[in-house]
Structure 1
Amino acid sequence: MTVSERPQTAPWSGDRPRLGGTLRLHGPAPVHRLDPSASHQAPADQIIRLFARQLFGYAPAPDLRDWRAIAPAPDLATDVPSTYNTGMGARHTNYVVHLRRGVLWDTAPAREVTAHDVVRGLKRLANPLTRPAALPYFTSTIRGMAQYCEDYAAAVRRDDPTAEELAAFQNSHDIPGVFVLDDESLVIELMRPAIDFAAIMALPCASPAPAEYDAFLPGSPELHRNLRSNGPYRPVRLVPGRELRLEPNPVWRQDTDPLRHRYLDGVEITVEDAAPEQVAERVASGAADLPWGGPVAEPHDAEPADPGDGLGLSLDPYLVFNVQSPGAGGALADARVRRALSYAIDKAAIADLYRRSGRGALVRIAGSVVPPGNDAHQELDLYATPGSRGDAQKCRALLAEAGHENGLALTAVHLDTALDTAVARSYAADLEKAGVTVRLVALDHDARDALLGDPRRAAAGEWDVAASSWSPDWHPSNGRVFLQPMFQSGDSRNSANRGRYRRPEVDRLIERALGTIEEPARSTAAWNLAERTVLEDAAVVPVLFQRPVVPRLRGQRVRGAVPMPAFGHSYDLAGIWLDPPDDPAG
């Protein structure tokens, strides 16, 4: 189907979309993490949505209070399985999924997406090189997925396996709970009922994978040069760390895609080391259409509007302690030390930094892990200080009680952006007032994520403290989206449990919460107790809750921009058109 033959109706707008033009995004984030199986959360998921589809997904809705904005809908699947359409068994643990016909890979020749591709995508999640932070959702839900991951890791012990080795394991071993009935149907068996199953399968990392991916290592430059698309656009040029261009996928058809549109001739991302105000200047001047890689709000006189009831905040930032670090005599393994350090942080000062950053987000001081608006939130602040300004004297006294009256020496790593550097200097100054010497190490996105994602480097003590963030992966029924990935025991690379915190009691409470998910009161009680236990252990220091930036900045010619809660309120690029479609420079 050519551009001129495509439907020209946008259901959320009375305007008639204009076709053509290139949407230009500018900002500081890297653009090379596009292998769906290796990616998790913003900003990559905003781009992955354009070329990789899942069994279920989300429809853009202009009213963020509309339940359809947060309810998984059929994408590659013909329906979301339920007892009403006979897609789910009476015990709520068996799902039969039927695929939509006519969805094609942009291979040569074009080939239909099949149930075998869905299974291949799930198997790729388990590869020991690039496991996504979302993996615990799958291993605790799909029958046999956890064992499959263990067997995969045991079979591939080398740090530098070949693509052939990985493909050989995947093609000779099955996930016990996943069965292909035929090219168009599969069965997924669960360990227990999971009312969030469709939301889990709607994550970008759950994308099907074509057979061609067997020839490449997951997340490798070679794979990124050979990405295949079943969505409205496809990557055609990637210069890692610098730029990305997507163009229309010639085999995509609107009548096979209920969640996306295609109105553009291309989408271009240009990476530039720019602060939010600099990005805003580029958009205001017409040199760019949208920010990339960091939220920037539309100009406003008052605080941004509440984006909608039931849409959860993010924990951003929080401080995580490397509990396995041998540094300072292994002091961070002692919960007494971590509790002491928790009292030192001037959270109000960090909040001021975010308010002045130009991002435009609403922030509030955090005392708990699960933010308001997410299931299982509770009001907690075990380490409150007057005005949230920190208490250096109390920190110093508690450190002395723990046997560190002469203080500590810690290494804190942080991103090399202006805001992250300012935040690191702020909490480092707080700790130094309490007698803790802090060595700051600035890293770019790649180096920081590689360091925090590697359990062996954590055990070697290459870092002690870091600021991180976590956002809800779906709404609602999302009790697990903070506590499970952030604190369940595990040694996988890229785990959201970056400090490698372990406590059997917390693991048992997580299992109890998941096992009673159909009984909200019992499940919530288990989540609440798990959170309190984590905070009593001071595994992390919650610093701020952030409400998403709404409305986000956009250029004057951008039309049809709808924020999507499932993607951190980033705009749905598949629904955008340009008026006028020609680039101003052209």
Structure 2
Amino acid sequence: MRQPSVITRRVAVTALTVAVAVVAAACAGPQGTDAKAGAAGTGTPQKGGTLSVLNSDPQTDFDPARLYTSGGGNVPSLVFRTLTTRNRENGAAGNKVVPDLATDTGRPNADATEWTYTLKDGLKFEDGTPITTADIKYGIERSFAAELSGGAPYLRDWLVGGAGYQGPYKDKKGLDSIVTPDAKTIVFKLNKPEGDFPFLATATQFAPVPKAKDTGAKYEEHPVSSGPYKVVKNEGDGEHLVLERNPNWSEKTDDQRHAYPDKIEVKSGLDPAVINQRLATSSGADAAAITTDTNLGPAELAQVGGDKALADRVGTGHFGYTNYLAFNPKVKPFDNPKVREAISYAINRTSVINAAGGSALAEPATTFLPNQAAFGYTPYDHFPAGKTGDPAKAKELLKEAGYPNGLTISLTHSTAQNRETGAETATAVQEALKKAGITVKLVGLEPNAFNEARWNVKGGAGFFISRWGADWPSGGPFLAPIFDGRQIVKDGANFNHAQLDDPAVNKEIDEINKLTDPKAAAVRWGALDKKIGEQALDVPLFHPVYKRLVGKDVKNVVISDWTGVLDISQVSVK
């Protein structure tokens, strides 16, 4: 799962000072998936200058083995190139996989259990040495080491022999399922068909690492660059990161990253309100600044002003994320489908969206898959509640379920300052269900305890708020972890909250995974989503929208639906 901290990190709800009160003009800013910022983001980009990145959260664990997919708001992709990458374009066009170090997006065998890649000519590390497939194989293998854990788990599951492999520090032999017949060819042998392998090959674990330069857990201090920038300073475990040009990177081998600025300076650990204030004011170096993790909050958006120039500096992003209510049918009364359906009908999505920050920051959801074609989005609403709920229908279903006088249930939520899984959304659900005769007792837990309650098969919550984000724009990493019965984990973090183990669902997941055409797979994922939705195993609530300011001198703003955040590799500050 894409880590929520990357994209949906806490919003700044504190009202800004008078100097930035007009930032709320953002709600008049650009909408839709074509997410370029306005006039301030346009113009002919030029090379040179220093780009500042102002973030709430440190860019920790700056090691390709430990980063989760392309996390960190695109910063890692400036240093780490991979076999494939995302298309660096706005909106839906950015959901496409394109070649990066490789000449193509991969060549599968007949059943997609084997994928072959060939490297481009002229690839070099920052020290000028050639990049070979042995470096990519080693980079992947070191991601299996316990001391370098934290990355996406797919390779351990997908590669033959991956489940028991402990990394090159303990097993010098390496993985037989990664074959490098020569310096430019690499072959991956998988346990089962995986048509999404080109998407996975965008993960930072596929970045090349020269074995001679590997310093284990200390590698993050100075990783060897294969991208347009190299690390010259890493202080406070990513709180202050300085990147400068890699002289051995060539745009001739990289048509995705433009690398306009001479220098990029990342400063983290900042208060969200301060970040937005600095971006809005755009004084000094802040005129050439951006953020990759701090949204404009509802309090800021509510302060509607008439400053069009400021509104034009707001970029709108969409990312494959769904916020939902989850049921554990192993817990009464949620074992009764009629009860789950009644709750589905009773939900007031208008009040939920208002609790999440308003319509500028959330879009109503009735499907589990995000509302983007790349995922296979197929519109459906099996339990139409309208905008404000249908309490009469809910009461009718409760009566059929054996609860003519209503019932009392508990809803587990987080106590963190988080509008998506926190008290605001929980209270909106509570008030809506009350109208249907359902008394909801709110159970607020601190974040760690909350995650334990919602992901624990044994003694977990029966009804809770949850959310899921995609590691790449496909239905696979969205539906499989949540509804594939073979992924139920009984002694660890289990994401299949309903503990659904339907042979027909499992089989269809396997069949879709054989498809190497993303469009054909999307059609099947959408149909599967619709079919599973009939069982009322969850109640989709909303998909988040991200609104972020850029400094007044920032040009060439590109925000793809793959990440939902500004792509640093495209930004110019001159």
TM-score by length of 1: 0.71
Structure 2 residue aligned with 1:17? 46
Structure 2 residue aligned with 1:317? 323
Structure 2 residue aligned with 1:96? 116
- State the AA in 1 paired with 2:417: D
Structure 2 residue aligned with 1:441? 445
1:482 to 455, 478, 482: 478
- Tell me if 1:509 matches 2:470: no
Q: Secondary structure at the match of 1:374?
A: helix
Query: How far apart are 1:515 and its partner, in Å?
Result: 3.2
Query: How far apart are 1:510 and its partner, in Å?
Result: 0.8
**Equivalent residues in 2 for 1:81-480, closer than 5 Å:** 81=106, 94-106=114-126, 111-123=129-141, 135-136=153-154, 145=159, 147-152=160-165, 166-168=167-169, 171-176=172-177, 178-189=178-189, 196-211=196-211, 216=216, 222=218, 224-225=220-221, 227-235=223-231, 236-240=233-237, 243-248=239-244, 250=246, 252-254=248-250, 255-262=252-259, 263-274=261-272, 279-286=275-282, 288=286, 289-296=289-296, 314-321=320-327, 337-354=339-356, 356=358, 360-361=360-361, 363-389=363-389, 391=391, 394=394, 398=398, 401=401, 406-413=407-414, 415-417=416-418, 421=422, 422-431=424-433, 434-443=438-447, 447=448, 451=452, 457=456, 459-461=458-460, 465-471=464-470, 473-474=472-473, 478-480=474-476
How many residue pairs match? The answer is: 510
The answer to which structure, 1 or 2, has the higher relative contact order (CA under 8 A, 6+ apart) is 2
Give the Cα–Cα distance (whole angstroms) in 2 for the partners of residues 395 and 121 of structure 1: 57
User: Residues 279 and 496 (structure 1 numbering): CA distance in 2 closer, same or farther, change over 3 Å?
Assistant: farther
Give the Cα–Cα distance (whole angstroms) in 2 for the partners of residues 420 and 232 of structure 1: 38
Query: How far apart are 1:49 and its partner, in Å?
Result: 0.9
Alpha-carbon contact 1:94-1:190 (below 8 Å) kept: yes
User: Structure 2: which 5+ runs fail to align?
Assistant: 1-40, 302-306
Query: How far apart are 1:293 and its partner, in Å?
Result: 1.0
Give the Cα–Cα distance (whole angstroms) in 1 for the partners of residues 253 and 55 of structure 2: 33
Q: Secondary structure at the match of 1:17?
A: coil
Q: Secondary structure at the match of 1:246?
A: strand
Q: Secondary structure at the match of 1:578?
A: coil
1:545 to 543, 553, 556: 543
Q: Secondary structure at the match of 1:562?
A: coil
Alpha-carbon contact 2:45-2:555 (below 8 Å) kept: no
Structure 2 residue aligned with 1:159? none
Give the Cα–Cα distance (whole angstroms) in 1 for the partners of residues 453 and 69 of structure 2: 16
Q: Secondary structure at the match of 1:382?
A: coil
Alpha-carbon contact 2:557-2:567 (below 8 Å) kept: yes
Q: Secondary structure at the match of 2:225?
A: coil
Give the Cα–Cα distance (whole angstroms) in 1 for the partners of residues 75 and 153 of structure 2: 20
Provide Cα deviations, 1:173-194, integer angstroms capped at 9, x if missing partner: 5253x31112332123466776
Structure 2 residue aligned with 1:572? 567
Alpha-carbon contact 2:70-2:202 (below 8 Å) kept: no
Query: How far apart are 1:227 and its partner, in Å?
Result: 3.8
- Tell me if 1:49 matches 2:49: no
Q: Secondary structure at the match of 2:443?
A: strand
Alpha-carbon contact 2:338-2:397 (below 8 Å) kept: no
Alpha-carbon contact 2:378-2:526 (below 8 Å) kept: yes
Q: Secondary structure at the match of 2:352?
A: helix
- State the AA in 1 paired with 2:182: D
Alpha-carbon contact 1:60-1:572 (below 8 Å) kept: yes
Give the Cα–Cα distance (whole angstroms) in 2 for the partners of residues 334 and 169 of structure 1: 50
- State the AA in 2 paired with 1:436: V
User: Residues 460 and 121 (structure 1 numbering): CA distance in 2 closer, same or farther, change over 3 Å?
Assistant: farther
User: Residues 30 and 515 (structure 1 numbering): CA distance in 2 closer, same or farther, change over 3 Å?
Assistant: same
Provide Cα deviations, 1:369-419, integer angstroms capped at 9, x if missing partner: 342433532222222224343639827963993789652334322642356
Alpha-carbon contact 1:312-1:373 (below 8 Å) kept: no
Give the Cα–Cα distance (whole angstroms) in 2 for the partners of residues 374 and 452 of structure 1: 32
Q: Secondary structure at the match of 2:413?
A: strand
Q: Secondary structure at the match of 1:468?
A: strand
Q: Secondary structure at the match of 1:566?
A: coil
TM-score by length of 2: 0.72
User: Structure 1: which 5+ runs fail to align?
Assistant: 1-11, 83-87, 153-164, 580-586
Provide Cα deviations, 1:131-181, integer angstroms capped at 9, x if missing partner: 778645x578x5xx2x534334xxxxxxxxxxxx644455435253x3111
Alpha-carbon contact 1:318-1:542 (below 8 Å) kept: yes
Structure 1 residue aligned with 2:54? 26
